[in-house]
């Protein structure tokens, strides 16, 4: 066997072809200039995360419940005392109280609202169920109710409040043991029935539209322009100051008094058991 010795050659450095003079040991070095790679940019500040809406479990209380949002309640709210909710709140259930209920300023309820006393909804309230009170009910401003509105007392529907450009909208009927007062921009899909007097005020640039039958057992007052999509039944006297257009039948068990210049238009049958006079 023949052993081959390792290569002992040493690589010679390649001679530089540069003709630049060697630096003078006594010459000061040039000032330092940092280089910037244009392909690398400073990190942009990240957008702050959107604020998470606080959440709460369902609430059952024996004392008053007073909450201000933003807040999302993951279920019902019930109390044997009063309930007051305001400012960007969502309730994923019903609201019930043995006392009064007051909701305002962008509150959404995914169930019904029921009270053994008074219910007040105003300025941006949405109820995806019905509203029921053993006392009175007041809906003011921009209020939307999917179901019926019932009260053992009176019902006030005021579309002239804050946010009244959109007004009050009710997808069911209105039923009250007392009187019913309708003012401003209000639309009711169902019937209106009450044991008291019906008062309807339609200011300029607003419209009251009643999609069902209207029945009041203690008379009715209409001021402004009113459109009734179905029948209009009044047990008592009807006082008209403006325009009343009934697309169904009109029956008045008392007399009809019309201010000068008022108009009464009925597409169906017109029955007036008392007198018809202009005052």
Kindly list the strands in the beta sheet with 174-176, ordered across the sheet, starting from the edge strand earlier in the chain. Answer: 59-61, 77-79, 95-97, 113-115, 131-133, 149-151, 174-176, 192-194, 214-216, 232-234, 250-252, 270-272
Query: What pLDDT score does 22 carry?
Result: 54
Say how far apart CA 185 and CA 42 lie, in whole Å.
56
Say how far apart CA 182 and CA 121 lie, in whole Å.
15
Considering 8-22, 73-87, 180-194, 232-246, the range whose residues carry the highest mean pLDDT is 73-87
* Domain end residue (candidates: 117, 147, 164): 117
* Domain end residue (candidates: 87, 102, 117): 117
272 pLDDT band, cuts 50/70/90, is: very high
Does residue 47 belong to any structural domain of this protein? Answer: no
Radius of gyration in angstroms for the set of CA atoms belonging to the chain, rounded to a whole number: 38
For residue 62, pLDDT beyond 90: yes
68 shares a domain with 164 = no
Does residue 94 belong to any structural domain of this protein? Answer: yes
Say how far apart CA 228 and CA 270 lie, in whole Å.
14
Does residue 83 belong to any structural domain of this protein? Answer: yes
Q: What is the pLDDT averaged over residues 22-43?
A: 48
The lowest-confidence range among 5-9, 113-117, 137-141, 148-152 is 5-9
179 shares a domain with 260 = yes
> What's the mean per-residue pLDDT of the chain?
85
For residue 30, pLDDT beyond 60: no
Does residue 48 belong to any structural domain of this protein? Answer: no
Query: What pLDDT score does 260 carry?
Result: 93
Query: What pLDDT score does 39 carry?
Result: 42
176 shares a domain with 245 = yes
Domain range enclosing 100: 55-117
Closest Cα partner for 136 from 155, 159, 110? 155
Where is 198: in which H helix or E strand?
Answer: strand 198-202
Say how far apart CA 278 and CA 262 lie, in whole Å.
9
**Exposed/middle/buried for residue 145 (C-beta within 10 Å: 0-12, 13-18, 19+):** buried
Per residue in 183-201, pLDDT (tens digit) is 989 999 999 999 999 999 9
Residue that wins the pLDDT comparison between 263 and 39 = 263
186 shares a domain with 67 = no
Does residue 16 belong to any structural domain of this protein? Answer: no
Rounded (10°) CA dihedral 156, 159, 160, 161: 80
Q: What is the pLDDT averaged over residues 83-102?
A: 97
Q: What is the pLDDT averaged over residues 14-21?
A: 50
Cα torsion angle, 149, 154, 159, 163, sign: negative
For residue 50, pLDDT beyond 80: no
Does residue 100 belong to any structural domain of this protein? Answer: yes
201 shares a domain with 158 = yes
Residue/partner pairs of 14-23 with CB below 8 Å, 24 or more apart: none
149 shares a domain with 111 = no
Task: Count how many domains the chain has.
Answer: 2
Q: CB 151: neighbour CB atoms within 10 A?
A: 25
| pTM beyond 0.85 | no
Say how far apart CA 175 and CA 212 lie, in whole Å.
12
127 shares a domain with 95 = no
147 shares a domain with 274 = yes
Does residue 22 belong to any structural domain of this protein? Answer: no
77 shares a domain with 182 = no
125 shares a domain with 113 = no
The lowest-confidence range among 61-75, 169-183, 191-205 is 191-205
157 shares a domain with 113 = no
42 pLDDT band, cuts 50/70/90, is: very low
218 shares a domain with 94 = no
Does residue 257 belong to any structural domain of this protein? Answer: yes
* Domain end residue (candidates: 102, 117, 132): 117
């Amino acid at each position: 066997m023949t052993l081959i010795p390792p290569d002992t050659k040493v690589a010679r450095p390649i001679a530089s072809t540069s003709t630049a003079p060697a630096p003078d040991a006594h010459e000061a070095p040039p000032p330092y200039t940092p280089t910037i790679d244009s392909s690398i940019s400073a990190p942009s500040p990240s957008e702050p995360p959107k604020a998470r809406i606080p959440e709460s479990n369902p609430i059952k209380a024996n004392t008053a419940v007073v909450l201000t949002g933003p807040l999302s309640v993951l279920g019902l709210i019930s109390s044997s005392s009063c309930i007051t909710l305001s400012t960007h709140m969502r309730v994923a259930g019903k609201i019930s109280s043995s006392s009064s209920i007051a909701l305002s300023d962008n509150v959404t309820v995914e169930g019904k609202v029921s009270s053994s006393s008074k219910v007040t909804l105003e300025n941006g309230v949405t109820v995806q169920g019905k509203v029921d009170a053993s006392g009175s009910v007041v809906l003011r401003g921009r209020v939307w109710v999917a179901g019926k509105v019932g009260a053992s007392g009176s019902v006030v529907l005021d579309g002239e409040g804050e946010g009244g450009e959109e007004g009050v909208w009710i997808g069911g009927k209105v039923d009250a043991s007392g009187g019913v007062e309708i003012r401003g921009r209000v639309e009711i899909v169902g019937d209106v029935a009450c044991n008291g007097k019906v008062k309807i005020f339609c200011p300029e640039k607003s419209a009251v539209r009643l999609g069902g039958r209207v029945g009041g057992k203690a008379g009715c007052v209409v001021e402004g322009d009113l459109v009734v999509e179905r029948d209009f039944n009044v047990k008592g006297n009807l006082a008209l100051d403006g325009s009343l257009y009934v697309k169904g039948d009109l029956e008045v068990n008392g007399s009809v008094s019309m201010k000068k210049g008022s108009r009464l238009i009925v597409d169906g049958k017109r029955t007036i058991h008392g007198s018809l006079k202009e005052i």
